[in-house]
């Protein structure tokens, strides 16, 4: 063991313009993985720059996760849970996030990051089908990230849009509108600096 711990802090950086989308899904067919993330990306009418959607398992350790998040300014997570567990392709992301939160109780290594989480799933698992999206949202916030918009939960009410049954398309349109506003504010700030 090393006698020190590596400290991560995401500093707001105007050059970080890319949006990362991470997904988790219980769908069996390989081509079905990421369908929600692709649908969400298609709602990006102003064409804000996004990295290709990726599975939560692309992050092997909590350190990998924190390093990857240093290269983005916005993170969008679309996932479900079953019986309170993450989808197999989201396991590394969830474990890395929990470990990062446990190791960084005092620090806020995700300060400067903005995130949005959408919980997708089947209400037949009512007691647990939003466990993982809620956990991810809470851990990101605990680590210093700020919500772009409130977490969305499939087919639940959503007061920000006055909807009784939220769908990914409704939430995604609202999210991209808010991201557009954030980008516009950032551009105005940059102009004032000149």
- List pLDDT tens digits, range 145-156: 999 999 999 888
* DSSP code for 159: G
pTM for the predicted model, two decimal places: 0.85
CA distance 95 to 89: 12
Which of the pair, 149 or 157, is modelled with greater confidence?
Answer: 149
Map residue 156 onto helix, strand or coil: coil
> What's the first-to-final CA gap in the chain, in angstroms?
48
pLDDT of 32-88, one tens digit each? 556 778 888 888 877 788 888 888 888 888 888 888 887 788 999 999 888 888 999
**Nearest-5° Cα angle at 179, 87 to 96:** 30
CA distance 137 to 61: 19
Torsion of CA 181, 40, 90, 95, to 10 degrees: 10
CA distance 4 to 182: 37
């Amino acid at each position: 063991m090393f006698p020190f711990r590596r400290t991560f802090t995401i500093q707001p950086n105007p050059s970080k313009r890319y949006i990362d989308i991470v997904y988790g899904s219980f769908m069996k067919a390989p081509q079905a993985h990421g369908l929600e993330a692709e649908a969400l990306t298609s709602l990006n009418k102003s064409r804000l720059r996004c990295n290709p959607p990726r599975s939560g398992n692309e992050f092997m350790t909590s350190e990998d996760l924190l390093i990857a998040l240093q290269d983005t300014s916005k993170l969008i997570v679309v996932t479900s849970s079953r019986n309170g567990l993450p989808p197999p392709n989201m396991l590394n992301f969830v474990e890395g996030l929990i470990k990062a939160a446990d190791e960084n109780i005092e620090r806020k290594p995700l300060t400067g990051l903005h995130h949005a989480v959408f919980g997708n799933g089947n209400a037949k698992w009512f007691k647990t089908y939003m466990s993982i999206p809620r956990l991810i949202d809470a851990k990101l916030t605990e680590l210093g990230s700020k919500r772009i918009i409130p977490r969305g939960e499939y087919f639940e009410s959503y007061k920000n849009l006055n909807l009784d049954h939220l769908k990914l398309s409704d939430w995604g349109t609202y999210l991209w509108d808010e991201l557009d506003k954030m980008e516009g504010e950032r551009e105005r700030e940059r102009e004032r600096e000149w």
